[in-house]
Structure 1
């Protein structure tokens, strides 16, 4: 097996120079670095990760805490694309990922900070973790570089990234207003999650902007699942003076709401318009195709990875907040309000 000593001998340089080239130090010339890299390729040399870690004081490992309340796990229709892009970008920057389990063995550390330090990760990804989790605080106060998605956490080495949830909700409701709808319902998580709160706020502010009526029975709690969308939409549409359009804060709930419309003998996009949020793959394949707010899942994953790498590799880099633009995708689940409901 080729060693660092053989690389140094072939390159005619010291072992410390080879080590500097391998670990990205800037105090060697580009010509020397290129020569060493060429010899490394010729001799098929692969640096030992443990030795590299001792030299750089890094493990080149990212720890991911991922929680999915719907239990889709890595098959989640929205999050799996985000995670895939995060993984690919982290990999291109020389890091691997360890996913922490949601259960802790007896006697092991259970706080996020303790588990991250136990595995000696260089940085942490938080995805789907609840903001009120009491075990978060020590991690946020630590100096472990951390990136949070869809949760505005702050700390000395904590950045966060989210879609423009409020702006996306405003865009969705304004689309319904443009179609003549005045009785617009809402299905979502108004209180438990940050994305639910922000999308509900966008819904409320748009109703106020256009002086539209808001009835308590037109606002229903859902948990982002198709089943909850179905059950609350069915109840909402059976009430007196039911809405002619419904904004759902996830595509899965919107798909459930569409099924409720059909089961009540009504036509989606004609009798009741439905708008979702996410633009999962299923959204364009349901019947009729779902109008929705597209989140840029690929950019979210890529930007989160790059932001975390900056926190790890640049000690002077300050934590940042990133907002990714959303886009209205108009399909056939929305239509002009029927004439008898236009006033």
Structure 2
């Protein structure tokens, strides 16, 4: 076979470079070129794979992923359901999901569900119509049917951040995280404390609150219900819940917020009550977002490894694609102490 000169594609209405063109320049059969450009070039030598891919790049060849999906039954897409990407926790997890998926040769399609069942159903149906290969669910609730629906349809899925009994998940041990926050405040001498509890239908809000309350109860200081305020997972919700706590006849000397964004709102409520964060009212958040360490009064928080959580959720989903069995993962939380929880002044 006579070599042809290799030139980069020119602009204009030139014909698209075909796989046959790449194969001809690489002096291999078309089927060999196809395998060399695939995500799993089994049976093709490393030198051939490198040569074919380099030539494809020079020539401007692009694989038709849609056509490949029709042949293999795979879209190479992973769907991701999140309450909202304005939530920095979910945005951080999604970033690591997208990176891990890309490294494995998959794209991602993300949808905001707004923690609303009807909206979730619409977005999930839209994803399934695109023949996605699997779904990572970041917005599961008690009573939610999305995971059950995916199981019924035989679509691989994994829950991330939040969990539901009987479903594969990658989460943090949130009960332990709440316990760590309580142990820290108890050790500092706080006895009258409040909790901004988040959404109790979500495992994150429920288990963090439960772990905290059980630790105080075991220490002999059970929390009255008035000192536990449910909320959405947002800064305005943290402000409102914090105001409720600070308006109690005997306000708490410390507050545990089950999300750093809730803790930000609580800071505003403490300020509005004429108190100083840390000096007058201790504060503990959860997730240890990057902003926690950079606030005017750096926030004590319970750290969740958000990046690892996202990566492991993709790993679990990929195992499902291969027909392998994956187990749920429970990552360990870590207490990060900063200026919002100084020792009590005598």
- Cα distance in 1, alignment partners of residues 133 and 191 from structure 2: 51
- Structure 1 position 87 matched with structure 2 position 98: yes
Match of 2:17 in 1: 2
- Cα distance in 2, alignment partners of residues 61 and 201 from structure 1: 37
Match of 1:199 in 2: 208
2:179 to 166, 170, 179: 170
> CA 1:180–1:296 in structure 2 vs 1: closer, same or farther (change >3 Å)?
same
Q: Secondary structure at the match of 1:151?
A: coil
Give the C-alpha shift of residue 323 in structure 1.
1.9
Whether the 8 Å CA contact 2:81–2:138 is kept in 1: the answer is yes
**Normalization by structure 2: what TM-score?**
0.83
- Structure 1 position 276 matched with structure 2 position 323: no
Q: Secondary structure at the match of 1:223?
A: coil
Q: Compute the RMSD of aligned alpha carbons.
A: 2.7
- Cα distance in 2, alignment partners of residues 320 and 255 from structure 1: 35
Whether the 8 Å CA contact 1:295–1:326 is kept in 2: the answer is yes
Deviations 1:75-102 (A, max 9, x none): 3222212212211221222222223465
Match of 1:146 in 2: 157
- Cα distance in 1, alignment partners of residues 268 and 123 from structure 2: 40
Match of 1:243 in 2: 252
Give the C-alpha shift of residue 297 in structure 1.
2.0
2:144 to 105, 111, 133: 133
**Normalization by structure 1: what TM-score?**
0.84
- Structure 1 position 328 matched with structure 2 position 335: yes
1:200-219 superposed matches below 5 A: 200-219=209-228
1:230 to 239, 246, 253: 239
Give the C-alpha shift of residue 292 in structure 1.
1.1
Q: Which piece of structure 1 moves more, 5-14 or 45-54?
A: 5-14
- Structure scoring higher RCO (CA < 8 A, sep ≥ 6) equals 1
Q: Count residues with an aligned counterpart.
A: 325
Deviations 1:60-83 (A, max 9, x none): 122222323xxxxx3322221221
Give the C-alpha shift of residue 247 in structure 1.
1.0
Whether the 8 Å CA contact 1:66–1:127 is kept in 2: the answer is yes
> CA 1:3–1:122 in structure 2 vs 1: closer, same or farther (change >3 Å)?
same
- Cα distance in 2, alignment partners of residues 100 and 228 from structure 1: 23
Match of 2:69 in 1: 53
Structure 2 gap ranges (5+): 1-15, 115-119
Structure 1 gap ranges (5+): 69-73, 104-108
